[in-house]
Amino acid sequence: MLIASLTTFLAFAFVLAVIGYRVFRGSGSAPAPAPELSVALPAGAKVVASAVGDGRVVLTIEVGGALELRSFDVDTLKPLAVRRLGADP
């Protein structure tokens, strides 16, 4: 019984020590907010879906009844590619 109590006390003291260390040794400030970025889309475009991954943002938009995939760099929002989806003429 004494060994179990001592082990429980040490574990509890360790957890409190780690929490105290994290609280008092923190950086003291939150990270800077990300800058506001925007993307220009064609007039009348409707965003149908979006996906983020592998450093890219991909938007599926509807422009004039046709679907387009537009991919942008996730950090700078510079256009990377545009792919129009639809039936071949």
CA distance 38 to 77: 7
3-12, pLDDT tens digit by residue?
999 999 999 9
Q: Residue 41: CB partners within 8 Å, gap ≥ 6?
A: 47, 59, 61, 70
Residue 87 clears pLDDT 60, i.e. is over it: no
* pTM strictly above 0.75: no
Nearest to 78 by CA among 35, 38, 36: 38
Residue 88 clears pLDDT 70, i.e. is over it: no
**What domain range includes position 23?**
2-85
Specify the number of domains making up the chain.
1
Per cent of the chain over pLDDT 70 is: 87
Residue 80 clears pLDDT 60, i.e. is over it: yes
Mean pLDDT confidence for 13-37? 79
CB 46 within 8 A of CB 61: yes
